[in-house]
Amino acid sequence: MDRRTTGSIDHANDYKDAHGKTVTSSYYESRNIGATLAVKGDRSLLTLKAGHQFIPAQGFVNQWMDMVENNASLFNLRYKSDYDWGKLDAMAYWQNTYHKMNSGEDKLPINLKIPVTTPDMPMVTRGINTGYSLKTDIPFTEKNILRIGNEFHRFSLNDSWPPISATLGTMVPDTFLNINDGRRDRYAFFAEWESRWNKQVTTIFGVRNEQVRMYAGDVMGYNGQNTAGITTTNYKRDAEAFNAEDHARNDSNWDLTSLVRFELTPTGTYEVGYARKTRSPNLYERYAWSTMWMTSGMVNWFGDGNGYVGNLNLRPQAMRWLIFVLHTSGKICGLIWALRICSTPSIISRLEESTMITFWIANCCPVPKGPPILSRWLVRVVRSISV
């Protein structure tokens, strides 16, 4: 049995650039505590992990809002064991995050006249992740391994924005419901067959099916009006249009992988593969509903200044790749060298085609009182393609 606890506090003020000017909203503070309990048997290992993180403040340079409070807790339970028939890897988890966003202490003011005011847009969000995974490795015959598994992941989200006052305006008097009782459940089953046909050839074939169930409740804006003074908000129009739709969405996603590895020489390996990966939209991509410039601008996890509005009719995104890998190595004049070339041409429109070349060289003998000399060069060529 083993028990461990960890704790840390990280803190930094706004840093200064090369010209000595302060970069605002670059401060942060994080307090972390964690505990681990592990019990090891003859052929098994049981691990329980728990942790909590508290962030009293963190600025974001490229976002409108800063984090003014964040509490995150987690529990992970994992069991691994070897049996006569194979291996079992089981895990269950629960993760809870509750945070508040608003303008930090050094955001630029929006009104320089007395009294000076700063942007005020409080946001309260709670997300919970729960789920489990079961994975097994089952050897059959001498050179084959069958891997099968089942997973369940549930993500629930409530994202609301309290009003800033009780009088009429663009952000009053009600609470803005951005994502109301959002849920995203994933049920997955997968299987993979690895076979070593001889000393030179290994094949891997895998298939995965994932059922995605999504839902979000009715929403409302800061008020039931379409205008606030001279500002057009369309809260009433957008909320009524969204609430009139059926919010339940179901996706059936299939992933496929295949790989053939040739080890033709002790120093040369070649791989050829095909992969198809599918991703369903997240809750914001489907259920963010307001088209007003200010509220849609808050739905932004890229920090690019754009506003984003969800689409209930978004379909899953399927990506397909062909993969070619060459890995070879050798020894010249007391130096070990290796070269790896990986090319992944995409066969779906508007994705990227990339080639990565890695070359490294090292001295066989360690330097006195030091590690071996190692040099590595990496070249990556990325080309965006459209079909």
pLDDT for 367 equals 44
Predicted confidence band of residue 357 (pLDDT cuts 50, 70, 90): low
pLDDT for 382 equals 46
What CATH number should be reported for the domain whose range is 2-322?
Answer: 2.40.170.20
* Rounded-to-10 torsion of CA 321, 322, 326, 327: 40
Measured in degrees and rounded to the nearest 5, phi and psi for residue 244 equal -75, -15
Beta bridge partners of 377: 359
Predicted confidence band of residue 92 (pLDDT cuts 50, 70, 90): very high
| Percent of the residues in the chain that have a pLDDT greater than 90, as a whole number | 64
DSSP state at residue 366: P
Both tokens of 317, joined, read 């995104």
The whole-number average pLDDT for the span 73-89 is 97
Both tokens of 108, joined, read 């630029």
- CA proximity to 212, closest of 311, 263, 295, 281: 281
298 dihedral zone (left: phi>0; alpha: psi -120 to 50; beta): alpha
pLDDT for 365 equals 45
pLDDT for 387 equals 34
pLDDT for 107 equals 78
- CA proximity to 262, closest of 171, 215, 214, 197: 197
Predicted confidence band of residue 345 (pLDDT cuts 50, 70, 90): low
Q: Residues 6 or more apart from 198 whose CB is under 8 A from it? A: none
**Is 75 within 8 Å of 50 (Cβ atoms)?**
yes
Measured in degrees and rounded to the nearest 5, phi and psi for residue 45 equal -145, 125
pLDDT for 129 equals 98
Could you tell me which residue, 356 or 82, shows the higher pLDDT? 82
The whole-number average pLDDT for the span 7-32 is 94
pTM as predicted: 0.84
